[in-house]
Amino acid sequence: QVQLVQSGAEVKKPGTSVRVACKTFGYTFTNYDINWVRQAPGQGLEWMGWMNPDNGHTGYAQKFQGRVVMTRDTSIGTAYMDLSSLGSEDTAVYYCARRQWRGGVRLDPWGQGTLVTVSS
Amino acid sequence: EIVLTQSPGTLSLSPGERATLSCRASQSIRNNHLTWYQQKPGQAPRLLIYGASTRATGIPDRFSGSGSGTEFTLTISRLEPEDFAVYYCQRYDNSPTGDTFGQGTKLEIK
């Protein structure tokens, strides 16, 4: 069964950085891009970027460029999202999701989400 | 940058009724790369429809998607109690701006 399992909740101070991990199960990690999406409390979904686990290539939404880095460890089938210079506006649930292409592009499945709280 | 506008913002209906949710794009979406997700409180989004009209595995046939270009629709033919949730449309584009989500439609019990 394909699953994405994310790391636990984080509380961070403004100006610091956070790393969220996304461990994959049930498929060949390097065959599918991993995307990151976040959701602020009571708000909609916001796409952050993608990473190709095979070659490490990435693409980031303009809003996050310079602040986000997406990496991976292929030996353990895990993707990482690092976000720096945190502010209160970065308080959100962060999701990873696998990008599928065959038959039509979509994000499926999704991780369970990781709550990141930025507070002094 | 393509903007997706979903309407209505909130839809109040009763179980058994038909729901029609709209997603309008500010520019034409190439290759019908339009996807619909369902999200319930405290849960991750769940894939419903991709390629504008293809139901994902395990999705009941009361859910259907249609449309092309700039106008897309998600229809739920007969609402079940578990269908009350927030629905998002999303478009994929292989460009620097990347993916875009609509702001969501909340489907609530009347």
| End-to-end CA, chain A | 40
According to the model, what pLDDT value does residue B66 have?
98
What confidence category does residue B1 fall into, taking pLDDT thresholds of 50, 70 and 90?
A: confident
Q: pLDDT, tens digit, for every residue of A87-118? A: 999 999 999 999 998 888 999 999 999 999 99
Cβ contacts (< 8 Å) between B45 and chain A: which residues? 37, 45, 95, 97, 107, 110
Cβ contacts (< 8 Å) between B103 and chain A: which residues? 44
Cβ contacts (< 8 Å) between A61 and chain B: which residues? 97-98
Separation in Å, CA of A57 to nearest CA in chain B: 13
According to the model, what pLDDT value does residue B77 have?
96
According to the model, what pLDDT value does residue B96 have?
67
A58 touches chain B (CB under 8 A): no
Query: Count of H helices and E strands in chain B?
Result: 0, 11
What mean pLDDT do residues A65-83 have?
97
Distance CA B66, CA B49 (A): 10
Instruction: Identify the sign of the CA torsion B30, A27, A58, A21.
Output: positive
According to the model, what pLDDT value does residue A102 have?
87
According to the model, what pLDDT value does residue A111 have?
98
Cβ atoms of A83 and A68 within 8 Å: the answer is yes
Candidates A106, A107, A108, A112: best to mutate against B (most CBs of B within 10 A) is: A106
Q: pLDDT, tens digit, for every residue of B37-68? A: 999 999 999 999 999 999 999 999 999 999 99
Cβ atoms of A68 and A82 within 8 Å: the answer is yes
A57 has a pLDDT exceeding 70: yes
What mean pLDDT do residues B100-110 have?
97
Separation in Å, CA of B52 to nearest CA in chain A: 9
Contact B50 A95 (CB under 8 A): no
What mean pLDDT do residues A47-64 have?
95
Separation in Å, CA of B99 to nearest CA in chain A: 6
According to the model, what pLDDT value does residue A11 have?
98
Q: What are phi and psi of B84, to 5 degrees?
A: -80, 115
Distance CA B38, CA B44 (A): 9
Q: pLDDT, tens digit, for every residue of B57-104? A: 999 999 999 999 999 999 999 999 999 999 999 999 877 678 999 999
Cβ atoms of B42 and A92 within 8 Å: the answer is no
According to the model, what pLDDT value does residue B14 have?
97
Contact A45 B44 (CB under 8 A): no
